[in-house]
Chain A
Amino acid sequence: MAVLTIKDLHVSVEGKEILKGVNLEVKGGEIHAIMGPNGTGKSTLSSAIMGHPKYEVTRGSITLDGQNVLEMEVDERARAGLFLAMQYPSEISGVTNADFLRAAINARLGEGNEISLMKFIRKLDEKMEFLEMNPDMAHRYLNEGFSGGEKKRNEILQLMMLEPKIAILDEIDSGLDIDALKIVSKGINEMRSSEFGCLIITHYQRLLNYITPDYVHVMMQGRIVKSGGPELAQRLEAEGYDWIKKELGIEDETVEQEA
């Protein structure tokens, strides 16, 4: 069973410290939700885990099954079993969705073990149908001209095709209408198993109506300030974040505010 362990993580962007000591453990079979208002460091956490070049880890550790993730290149992290569904997926002209997915799958399988074309097409057709995607989208250029909802659905398609050990979903719900939200949730729920751990980053509770998390964490000022079960998300939906700020004596929850 996979374990992603984050200890005392400090991350800076362009010299400014955004994360100030994050501790978190995500195991296979668990779904964690990280919630919090804008500007509290949630997306920074996801980018730092995946290894975005702009984010510099200044202290702490990230390990996956005991392996040091911080020493890995971005592609090595992915092949080790991490996946990040991005808030703003890139558009890549001239590369079809299908060619891209096959390259990604084959990169995992390694030379000599490539997926057969038939097997690939079968799997792709099946997952696209599950996500109610137009079959044309396999042959369109990667994310080019996709609507916001199509891009998010395409991220979930990649998740289902690549079957990572641990997935981080960065605001996968933003910009989705209710029907698209249901389909995206259906995809994530389909992935649920003891072999799959998931970290959902969101500032809306509504996604959690469709995907019940095992753990809910609240992030403020670049740290996890409160953790609990699904009931925590419900209380946040009902009461907002003010009660947590009051409880912890936080005036401004964003990282702009030096602690």
Chain B
Amino acid sequence: MTTETKIPFDQQYVRSFSSGRGEPDWLLQLRLQALAKAEELPLPKPDKTKIDNWNFTQFANHVVESAPFASLDELPEAVKALIEAGEGTKNLYVQRDHTPAYLSLSEELKAKGVIFTDIFTAAREHGDLLQKYLLKDGVKFDEHRLTALHAALFNGGVFVYVPKGVEVDVPLQAVYIQESDDIALFNHVIVVAEDNSRIAYVENYISAKGVSKAVVNIVAEVFANTNARVFFAAVDNLAKGVTTYVNRRGIAGRDGRIEWALGLMNDGDTVSENITRLIGDGSFGDTKTVVVGRGEQVQNFTTSVVHYGKHTEGYILKHGVVRDSATSIFNGIGKIEHGASKSNAQQESRVLMLSEKARGDANPILLIDEDDVMAGHAASVGRVDPTQLYYLMSRGIPRREAERLIIHGFLAPVVEAIPIESVKKQLIEVIERKVQS
């Protein structure tokens, strides 16, 4: 089988799309440059998963127009379930396919200079700031075909900016709903925490229908500048039939901290890449990822922490459950560059297989170019431990319930880290559904 790889959108289309959104010229030029590269650059090569035949480029609609939600009452039930009533509605962004459909930011945060807006408004109103961060020091547009395509065609997303010294105590939440079939969502998220600031951002990707057909290409760039702290949680829950490429990247400055809690629950084929670059001395990166694979889906999860600064600390924890005939590949990479002395790179990858046909692979990699460091890894692929099962059953707990407890316990590191109760509850429900049904 050969897959059509010709990009179905041309320069003229990109020009009119960009001007239609009132984008500054630098952004149009970036898009055009990227479009030119998109056809010549190769696809990324996630280790141990062949994606040549996956459809990342063919889709009928680049933009569908949807009506905004006039009030929170109009939100679909699945979205309402994700939002905490009261406080949780004060700093919220909801996007329907490509349309910014609801936005709120509290007066208090506005007064402190916090920006929380859709990416197009950001381009129009905060162009200089956006230009400083968009596809520059985080993800480069010409890394491979999918980043180039993303840069040329990104059609959704948010911009979060926290000024120097501002500590935001409540999490900002974004919900992206994939509603229509045959669309491509190229979502771009930027979170910037300036020096000595603090922010927590939580995003949910959901499909309105149980089975759909769509291409999703997400890039998130996270910046924790000097002594800033970013907590980034995501629950991806896109339907079967949606092919996803998601690239979440963090850049930590001196003493900056980036913590990720990623619940990757897509039902379609997914390539997920999460890289944290610890540039500044004393910076810290912590990635917690949990995944469930089911049906026949193929997923590849690469998590990497790259140490450049001295005294940097990087932790990777990945726990995955694979059932049916799903395939999940876990690549964990701790990389310590020359000069990053006194750094510490640790990782743990564990895969639990629930069926004979499931395939799981945990590949821990340490790449170390400096002598005076600490590093360690642990990896395992196996079944539910029969001794644990026996122990729980010996207290009267039926086998199914005992398995459920063990699996939930196994996925708890991310569930427990999520700062919004409703999102936590929904993640538990999704896990329940995916593991049990």
Contact = CB atoms under 8 A, between A and B. Distances in A.
A107 B401 contact: yes
B395 A162 contact: yes
A92 B409 contact: yes
B108 to A, nearest CB: 33
Contacts of B394: 50-51, 74-75, 77-78, 83-84, 86
A94 B391 contact: no
Contacts of B396: 75, 78-79, 104, 107-108, 162
Interface in B394-411: 394-399, 401-402, 405-406, 408-411
Interface string A94-117: 110001100110011000000000
Given A90-B388, A94-B410, A94-B413, A103 B393 contact: no
Interface string A66-81: 0000000111011100
Contacts of B392: 90, 92, 100, 104
Contact of B405 (A77, A92, A108): A92
A86 B387 CA distance: 11
Contacts of A229: none
B386 interface: yes
A95 to B, nearest CB: 4
A90 B385 CA distance: 10
Contacts of B388: 90, 92
A257 interface: no
Contacts of A162: 395-396
B390 A52 contact: yes
Contacts, number: 79
Given A53-B390, A108-B396, A103 B410 contact: no
A94 B395 contact: no
Nearest to A50: B394
A74 B405 contact: no
A200 B145 CA distance: 68
A241 interface: no
B78 interface: no
A234 B402 CA distance: 42
Given A53-B386, A107-B398, A78 B393 contact: yes
Interface of B is mostly: helix
A94 B397 CA distance: 17
Nearest to B387: A90
Contacts of B412: 93-95
B397 A75 contact: yes
Nearest to B415: A94
A223 B385 CA distance: 31
A240 interface: no
A93 B410 contact: yes
A94 B411 contact: yes
Given A95-B406, A100-B405, A90 B397 contact: no
Contacts of B399: 73, 75
Interface string B404-426: 01101111110010000000000
Interface string A42-56: 000000001111000
A75 B393 contact: yes
A100 B404 CA distance: 11
Contacts of B385: 90
A78 B401 CA distance: 14
A51 to B, nearest CB: 8
B352 to A, nearest CB: 12
A158 interface: yes
A89 interface: yes
A94 B412 CA distance: 5
Nearest to A90: B391
Most buried by A among B391, B398, B416: B391
B263 to A, nearest CB: 14
A79 B397 CA distance: 8
Contacts of B406: 92, 95
A141 interface: yes
Nearest to B411: A94
A79 B416 CA distance: 31
Interface string B352-395: 00000000000000000000000000000000011110111111
A86 B391 contact: yes
Contacts of B416: 94
A173 B393 CA distance: 23
A52 B409 CA distance: 23
Contacts of A53: 386, 390
Nearest to B391: A90
B271 to A, nearest CB: 27
Contacts of A94: 408-413, 416
B410 to A, nearest CB: 6
Nearest to A74: B393
Given A92-B405, A93-B409, A94-B408, A107 B390 contact: no
B398 A75 contact: yes
Contacts of A74: 390, 393-394
Contacts of B391: 86, 89-90, 92
Given A53-B386, A90-B385, A103-B401, A73 B393 contact: yes
Interface of B: 385-388, 390-399, 401-402, 405-406, 408-413, 416
13 contacts: A74-B393, A74-B394, A75-B393, A75-B394, A75-B397, A86-B391, A86-B394, A90-B388, A90-B392, A99-B405, A104-B392, A107-B395, A162-B395
Given A75-B396, A79-B396, A92-B406, 9 more contacts: A51-B394, A75-B397, A75-B399, A84-B394, A90-B388, A94-B413, A95-B405, A107-B396, A162-B396
